[in-house]
Amino acid sequence: MILLGLGANLPSAMYGPPPATLAGAIDALAAEGVALDRRSPWYRSAPLPAADQPWFVNGVIAVTTRLAPAELLAVLHLTEQRFGRHRRDRNEPRVLDLDLLDYHGRVEGGGGSPVALPHPRLHERAFVLLPLRDVAPDWHHPITGQSVDALIAALPPGQQIERIE
């Protein structure tokens, strides 16, 4: 299973508010050979770390593709750029954020690899784990072996998130 995280807290010029932007991103990925298998409901979440910026809309999708992890990551970054994202500062507001969360349980990273699998911070983020559970309730972290429910139970306190769909 290949899992992608989606997020946005700014409107895009092409699609408008974040939920429409995220739906447009799913369509754009399909045009690049990344087929949607399942989609979580959208969630609304406070920025992490806490910041004076709009709340995010987040979700997780399960996809199928023939692209290798590095190729898929390149497609994700290109899609972000096409939607108007310019990477300047970490944790800045963004029109679109696409993350490669898991690629068939592979563990990669370090040694100059462009891809870190699984995503190195996914286990710390309610805005990833709650929608991930909707898409893949039996998923286990490829490194720790922990279930998604155990990871949710271990989340640091104070993360504000609500299902909006």
Type and span of the H or E element at 89: none
pLDDT value at position 89?
67
Which entry of 44, 52, 90, 99 is annotated as an active-site residue? 99
Is 94 assigned a catalytic role? yes
Question: Quick one: pLDDT at residue 106?
Answer: 94
Selected catalytic residue, list 52, 66, 88, 94: 94
Which is catalytic among the residues 97, 102, 125, 133? Answer: 97
Q: Which two tokens stand for residue 164?
A: 């909006």
pLDDT, position 158: 87
Residue 82 is among the residues annotated as catalytic for this protein: no
Question: Residue 127's pLDDT is what?
Answer: 96
Per-residue pLDDT of the chain (165 residues), as tens digits, is 999 999 999 999 989 999 999 999 999 999 999 999 999 999 999 987 667 789 999 999 999 999 999 999 999 999 999 998 777 766 678 899 999 999 999 999 866 678 999 999 999 999 999 999 999 999 999 999 999 999 999 998 889 999 997
Distance CA 94, CA 144 (A): 30
Q: Which helix (DSSP H) or strand (DSSP E) does residue 2 occupy?
A: strand 2-8
- Residue 62 to residue 140: CA distance in whole angstroms: 14
**What is the model's pLDDT at position 157?**
87
Is there a contact between 34 and 75 (Cβ–Cβ < 8 Å)? yes
Distances in whole angstroms, Cα of residue 35 to Cα of each of 3, 17, 21, 23, 76: 11, 23, 17, 13, 13
Task: Please report the domains of the chain, with CATH numbers, ordered by start residue.
Answer: 2-163 (3.30.70.560)
Active site residue 89: no
pLDDT at 44: 97
- 17: helix, strand or coil: coil
Active site residue 138: no
d(CA 23, CA 124): 25
Alpha carbon distance 6, 41 (integer Å): 11
